[in-house]
Structure 1
Amino acid sequence: MVEVSRKYVFDFDSTLTRVEALDVLAEMTLEGRSNKEEVIQEIQKITNLGIDGDISFTESLERRIKLLHAKKEDLDGLVENLRNKISKSIAANKEFFEKYADDIYVISCGFKEFIDPIVKEYNIPSERVYANTFKFDEEGNIIGFDEKNVLSQHNGKIDCLKQMNLDGEVQVIGDGYSDYVMREAGIADKFFA
């Protein structure tokens, strides 16, 4: 019997990690502000609206970044924080990531600046990470994202996976509607939540 070639496509936020990274970044960057809790709740609300498909991902991203008030220098602290928030099932299966390293990809609507350092520890190189990238001003403030990146658009994960043109059985592992639609669109063979 011939063994089927499999490709594993992971989401990052609330899949490889137990948290939404932009929510964690907000917790860090809003520390000491009187309206911290209100802003964090608004960011989480916007995140969930995007995950559930109630607003476009582009709108969700734009609105959350405006509320963050984050800088490039905050990203190092975020990465350290995320290292302690790896999903238990992922941490417990590190051998899987070593064994199937050549067949694992990350497609995330998050950002390479914080995803790359985390997934590198699981043998996933930057060239197999498909994610958004931040835009910074001269002072290092995060002022936006690359709007031309397909992952900043509605149904960006579908378009990204199509462009990758992976061979074999494609299994998507994620937590939200934006992950499920890859299976629904017929470009992934299986979806696991």
Structure 2
Amino acid sequence: MECVAVPVRGPRQLRGTSCTVLLAAGFLFLAAPLLGLEGRTFFGRSPEDSKAKAQRILLSADAVCFDVDSTVVETEGIDLLAKCYNVEEAVKNLTRNAMEGNVKFQDALAARLDLMQPSRHSLEECLKTEGKPRFTAGVIEVVRRLHARGTHVFLVSGGFRVMIEPIAEELKVPQDRIFANTILFDEEGNYAGFDETEPTSRDGGKPAVLTQLKRKRGYKNMVMVGDGATDLQARPPAKVFIGFGGIQIREKVKQGADWFVYDFQEVLDVLPEA
């Protein structure tokens, strides 16, 4: 190829078509952030895809927040309670609508508890028969490896604290790293609503929790893991969202996730022991 002289300002000249291409490439690389072109593909080089980013952030995460129901455990806690009160099908429908983002979470929570009207005594009896957690395959090892790496693990759930505390104990997650809902009772032990001051009791509660954690504890690389629309809402402030489809596959969550996994073994494959 014949070399063509390319005039430039100053005493020097760049010669050769290849020189011109290299100069242009260098200009685009350096100027991309100023021109709003970051993340674009130039000369066959692709930006980091969302799955690779999620895996990279996970390896450097200082905090990982897990949804609990249908993620850490195989069941939906409120559905287990509904079975005790013989309103299982109606509650399941409300749960499905809430997790798919079709109804505000606080409205679905209130409606489900109103159907059950759990007293303190009946709730205690229910938990004796239905409350034993069935952990999702691989999740205990995932949490153990995160702990070994010095990563702080949080349980951030729209479920109930009374059901989540035994799960946290099994996972060796401290009580102050649980964010969940509290059922309230009157002096006679009758159902009296739920604690509406808990951020997880309302729509947008999970991003509110992560924002609070980021502000108070200074986390830089936060990851959210979950199966529902309320979990997807937590990115940002989470840098990435890992969608979990091992129990329930929700199309909105699958499409919105940075990385969608069907089995926690996929996470273990990229999360070596510390």
Amino acid at match of 2:102: D
Instruction: State whether structure 2 residue 62 is matched by structure 1 residue 6.
Output: yes
Partner of 1:157: 206
Partner of 1:43: 91
Q: Distance in 1 between matches of 2:223 and 2:136?
A: 18
The runs of at least 4 aligned residues of structure 1 exceeding 6 Å deviation read none
Structure possessing the higher radius of gyration over alpha carbons: 2
| Runs of 5+ unmatched residues, structure 2 | 1-58, 244-274
| Runs of 5+ unmatched residues, structure 1 | 31-35
Q: Is the contact between residue 157 and residue 179 of structure 1 (CA under 8 Å) also seen in structure 2? A: yes
Identity %: 28
**1:119-152 CA deviation, whole Å, 9 max, x = no partner?**
1111111101011111112232333111122221
**1:51-99 CA deviation, whole Å, 9 max, x = no partner?**
1111111100100001113232324642764434111222454632652
Partner of 1:33: none
Partner of 1:188: 238
How far residue 173 of structure 1 moved from its aligned partner, in angstroms, is: 0.8
Instruction: State whether structure 2 residue 234 is matched by structure 1 residue 176.
Output: no
Aligned ranges for residues 143-154 of structure 1 at < 5 Å?
143-154=192-203
Partner of 1:19: 75
Question: What number of residue pairs does the alignment pair up?
Answer: 181
Instruction: State whether structure 2 residue 155 is matched by structure 1 residue 140.
Output: no
TM-score (norm 1): 0.84
Instruction: State whether structure 2 residue 139 is matched by structure 1 residue 90.
Output: yes
Kindly indicate whether structure 1 or structure 2 has the higher relative contact order, using CA contacts under 8 Å at least 6 residues apart: 1
Higher helix share: 1
TM-score (norm 2): 0.60
CA RMSD in angstroms comes to: 2.2
Partner of 1:64: 112
Q: Distance in 2 between matches of 1:87 and 1:52?
A: 21
More displaced, 78-87 or 19-28?
A: 78-87
SS at match of 2:162: helix
How far residue 4 of structure 1 moved from its aligned partner, in angstroms, is: 3.4
SS at match of 2:64: strand
Q: Is the contact between residue 147 and residue 153 of structure 2 (CA under 8 Å) also seen in structure 1? A: no
Determine which of 158, 169, 182 is the counterpart of 1:109: 158
Amino acid at match of 1:191: F
Amino acid at match of 2:240: K
Q: Distance in 1 between matches of 2:242 and 2:143?
A: 18
How far residue 158 of structure 1 moved from its aligned partner, in angstroms, is: 1.1
